[in-house]
Structure 1
C-alpha cells in the first residue's frame, strides 16, 4: 500500500469533507481516505497496482479543490 497526502487550499465548509471522502473511498484501489478539515489535508492509502496517485489527485481537482502540493510515499 502507498500513501498520498494532498495539501489543499483552505476548506470552507464541513460538507467538503463528505464530498471528497465519498468520491475517493468509492474509487477502486483506495483503501481509506480521510480529510483533515482544519489543515486542508487529504490522506489516502491506495493500492498502486489498481490506481495511480495521479488519478486520486485528478479526482480531487475535478471536484473543484485545487491542490497546493502532494506527497506520495
Structure 2
C-alpha cells in the first residue's frame, strides 16, 4: 500500500468535498476508509494499492470534475 496526498487549488464549497471524495472512493485500489478531503487545506489524502491504480488515475478523476491539481506526493505506507 502507498499513501498519497494531492494538493488542489482552493476548494470553494463543502459539496466540492463530497464530489471529490466520491470520485476518489469509486476507483479500484483506493482504500475507501482512508479517503479524507481536507476542505481548509484543499488536500486529498488516501491510501491505495499501486498494483491496482495510480495517483495519476486519481488525479484524472479529480480533474474530470473540474478541479485543478497543483501537485501530488506519494509515500510508502
1:9-28 → structure 2 map (5 Å cutoff): 9-28=9-28
Q: Distance in 2 between matches of 1:12 and 1:55?
A: 23
In the TM superposition, residue 44 of structure 1 has moved relative to its aligned partner by 1.1
Moved over 2 A (4+): none
In the TM superposition, residue 34 of structure 1 has moved relative to its aligned partner by 1.1
Q: Match of 1:68, SS? A: strand
Equivalenced residues, count: 73
Q: Distance in 1 between matches of 2:46 and 2:64?
A: 17
Question: 1:48 matched to which residue of 2?
Answer: 50
The root-mean-square deviation of aligned C-alpha atoms, in Å, is 0.8
1:55-70 → structure 2 map (5 Å cutoff): 55-70=57-72
TM-score (norm 2): 0.89
Structure with a larger share of its residues in strand: 1
Q: Deviations over 1:2-39 (max 9, x none)?
A: 01111111100000111000111111100031100000
- What stretches of structure 2 of length at least 5 have no aligned partner? none
Question: 2:6 matched to which residue of 1?
Answer: 6
